[in-house]
Structure 1
Amino acid sequence: MSDSGDGDTSSTADDADPTVEDLIESLETLESVVDDTEERRKVQEAMRTAREIAVQKPPSVFGRVVRGFDRSDLAEALLGSVLFGIPMLVEGGTGEVGAYLASHPVYLVGTVVATVLLVIGIIYVADFQDVRVHNPILGVVPRRLVGVLGVAALTALVGLTVWGRVDWTSPGVALGSTVVAAVPMAVGAALGDLLPG
């Protein structure tokens, strides 16, 4: 192997496998610090060329660098949420488990926490894709995490309500049922967002 410097033994995926997206990101950073107009134009032209290369040879579904969370990601998350969640909307057991959780608030909170941790594991730990946190909310909370969990929760809430599976005159049971339905929907939303790339 070639030596990469005496003191630096750390290695990241970015160092090992640079992508066109990494190049574009570096060029954008360079563009923001270049003072000369002609030099800035050259950097912008290099960015255009890099984007054309990326379009000509799209990366495979797996192994892409995933940044941000836009409308297409939202649509993919919604599709995954609905596909995984339809059985929860029609299954009577959802209401039974919801009633149980309503009478055991600690388990209700535990289910919510477990769902969040499960989604974090799928998105950021399982390595389906190289997911990068881009422009987090309040500088801390990843937009993709909020988007995926939000889609799942909203799909569960609207689906159960519109199909008459919950009665909001009993808010505890309705909330419990929504949390139960949101668990597989959150898994589906995370997978739906990541797997298409």
Structure 2
Amino acid sequence: MSHSSRDSPAASASDEEFDVEDVYEELEELEGIVDSAAELEQVRETMRVLRLARRPPLLGRLSDSFDSRDVGEAVVGSFLFGMPMIVEDGTLEIGRFIAGNPLFFALTVAFGFVLVYEILHAVEFEKVEADLLWGVVPVRLVGIPTIAGVMALVLMTIWGRVEWATPLTAAGQVTVTAIVMAVGASLGDVLPGT
């Protein structure tokens, strides 16, 4: 009684090492030997699907709690997004404007929070059980805006971009910068390869 090569121990060991590159190479070989247009189209369609499957996702998946690596990614994202805001005088004008309009100030903060929430929600941050304070509050949802807010406050203060003699205006200017930095921090945390 003959056994197929799939039943042999050597074959099962090689099956474990079989990866996407091997499949793609097999499909390329198959493309060269199929003899009908319908079969050729099926092979090419399979290759297209495999190419799409090999692309890394735009957003990563979170599996662990918010740790020092995530903090580092958030700091880098905050800094990269925040630098143009800190040096741009338009930020100071916007901050001055919203500081004098409490409704617009509140809407700006709410908009920033929603942006951060939606970016994190795209990677299902709420499903990371190890990432909950008191089993309820996601650490990322607190940590990312906090990191961005502290960075905006410190950098804008030590670089002389805000005048604390007018605290409401300074708070508006720091808030505008912090919101943009929070978006950068959340993207820094969720993008794969960062």
Normalised by the length of structure 1, the TM-score is 0.64
Out of 146, 152, 161, the position equivalent to 1:150 is: 146
Normalised by the length of structure 2, the TM-score is 0.65
The one-letter amino acid of 2:89's match is G
The one-letter amino acid of 2:173's match is S
Out of 168, 176, 180, the position equivalent to 2:164 is: 168
User: Given the alignment of the two structures, is residue 134 of structure 1 paired with residue 130 of structure 2, yes or no?
Assistant: yes
CA distance in 2, matches of 1:148, 1:77: 7
Given that 2:112 and 2:179 are in contact with CA atoms closer than 8 Å, whether structure 1 keeps it comes out as yes
CA distance in 2, matches of 1:63, 1:194: 6
**1:72 to 1:61, Cα distance in 2 relative to 1, 3 A:** farther
Q: Match of 1:66, SS?
A: coil
Structure richer in helix, relative to its length: 2
2:73 equivalent in structure 1? 76
Task: Measure how far apart 1:135 and its partner are.
Answer: 4.4
Larger radius of gyration: 2
2:36 equivalent in structure 1? none
1:114 equivalent in structure 2? 111
CA distance in 1, matches of 2:146, 2:126: 22
CA distance in 1, matches of 2:64, 2:148: 20
Q: Which runs of 4+ in 1 moved over 6 A?
A: none
User: Given the alignment of the two structures, is residue 182 of structure 1 paired with residue 184 of structure 2, yes or no?
Assistant: no
Given that 1:66 and 1:130 are in contact with CA atoms closer than 8 Å, whether structure 2 keeps it comes out as no
Describe how 1:5-44 pairs up with structure 2 within 5 A.
none
Given that 1:157 and 1:178 are in contact with CA atoms closer than 8 Å, whether structure 2 keeps it comes out as yes
Given that 2:82 and 2:152 are in contact with CA atoms closer than 8 Å, whether structure 1 keeps it comes out as yes
Identity across the alignment (%): 46
**1:133 to 1:120, Cα distance in 2 relative to 1, 3 A:** farther
**1:189 to 1:177, Cα distance in 2 relative to 1, 3 A:** same
CA distance in 2, matches of 1:130, 1:62: 15
**Aligned alpha-carbon RMSD (Å):** 2.3
Given that 2:66 and 2:139 are in contact with CA atoms closer than 8 Å, whether structure 1 keeps it comes out as yes
Could you list the runs of 5+ residues in structure 2 that have no partner in the other structure? Answer: 1-55
CA distance in 2, matches of 1:101, 1:63: 34
Out of 82, 86, 95, the position equivalent to 1:85 is: 82
**1:160 to 1:194, Cα distance in 2 relative to 1, 3 A:** same
Task: Measure how far apart 1:158 and its partner are.
Answer: 0.8
Could you list the runs of 5+ residues in structure 1 that have no partner in the other structure? Answer: 1-58
